[in-house]
A = this chain, B = another copy of it.
């Protein structure tokens, strides 16, 4: 038995971490909320494309890195930590592997792998995150799975709390190109897992920012971090993060090994990661005092992304109910 990351996984994590800390500063998040920032966001994506990130779990034969889901969650935690803009979770875990199975979309698929094309996922439930900035759309409707490129889609912009998501309501002209439906359940599991990992990264970031802030901010002549109420709130945040992360790792390992219980484990991971992110976001805002409320300070980017991701691909209650079903409770 061993429950730790392999050397290979750690190498991927460390490489990605240093790239992201260099090339995905919080200024990029400020820019990313308007079309003016598109070029900078695409610059980051191309960099990630050069590193092979979009094709992380795509088989090597199809031009990907052929990594398993354990690599994926570790990468997504890093991407979450910097709140990297764009539909990275959806592309890495869903769009790229699905398009890899669709030879008719080879040209577009190559662009996806290169970080040159962004793909949004439209499940037919309301607005679509990243619709305004995406070059193609995975369309899930009535048990059908399809793909359509930007040119055949009308997007009505929708303003959301996390403006970097550049969301929109989507209307497709005509029928999308059909993708093999067999991959869908696994793709939905995988993207759910990816988002759980992102949420762990986002939570870790909010906690780090808050930990630093309360050590420097003074009130009543002492750092606010010396108050027991603040200490306990942050201790609870750390506990939440530390116990959510192994659940994400395990779900990844279950999926990678084709375990019968993988879907249950993914639901558990998403539920715990969601609860964690909500708790840490709330604590971070509270411990920052008015500063957490100021959009000139960076915390809000991570809080808003967390809220958005908590609701994506099923909120915590939905996934707890699925776990209950799996356990026949």
Q: Tell me if A232 is interfacial: C-beta within 8 Å of chain B.
A: yes
- Nearest neighbor of A232 in chain B, beta-carbon distance: B229
Name the interface residues of A190-233: CB closer than 8 Å to any CB of B.
227-229, 232
The CA of A232 and the CA of B227, in the complex, are separated in Å by 12
Question: Which residues in B have their C-beta under 8 angstroms from that of A228?
Answer: 227-229
A232-274 vs B, Cβ < 8 Å mask (1 yes, 0 no) = 1000000000000000000000000000000000000000000
The CA of A232 and the CA of B228, in the complex, are separated in Å by 10
A110-131 vs B, Cβ < 8 Å mask (1 yes, 0 no) = 0000000000000000000000
Question: Which residues in B have their C-beta under 8 angstroms from that of A227?
Answer: 228
The CA of A228 and the CA of B227, in the complex, are separated in Å by 7
The CA of A227 and the CA of B231, in the complex, are separated in Å by 12
Question: Which residues in B have their C-beta under 8 angstroms from that of A229?
Answer: 228-229, 232
Within the complex, what minimum Cβ distance (angstroms) separates A299 from chain B?
24
The CA of A47 and the CA of B248, in the complex, are separated in Å by 64
The CA of A227 and the CA of B229, in the complex, are separated in Å by 9
- Nearest neighbor of A227 in chain B, beta-carbon distance: B228
The CA of A228 and the CA of B222, in the complex, are separated in Å by 15
The CA of A229 and the CA of B229, in the complex, are separated in Å by 6
Within the complex, what minimum Cβ distance (angstroms) separates A190 from chain B?
37
The CA of A228 and the CA of B228, in the complex, are separated in Å by 6
Within the complex, what minimum Cβ distance (angstroms) separates A222 from chain B?
12
The CA of A229 and the CA of B227, in the complex, are separated in Å by 9
The CA of A179 and the CA of B154, in the complex, are separated in Å by 73
Name the interface residues of A260-310: CB closer than 8 Å to any CB of B.
none
Question: Which residues in B have their C-beta under 8 angstroms from that of A232?
Answer: 229
- Nearest neighbor of A228 in chain B, beta-carbon distance: B228
The CA of A38 and the CA of B88, in the complex, are separated in Å by 73
Within the complex, what minimum Cβ distance (angstroms) separates A239 from chain B?
15
The CA of A13 and the CA of B232, in the complex, are separated in Å by 41
Which 5 pairs from chain A and chain B are nearest by CB? A228-B228, A228-B229, A229-B232, A227-B228, A229-B229
> Would you give 5 A-B contacts (Cβ < 8 Å), ordered by A?
A227-B228, A228-B228, A228-B229, A229-B229, A229-B232
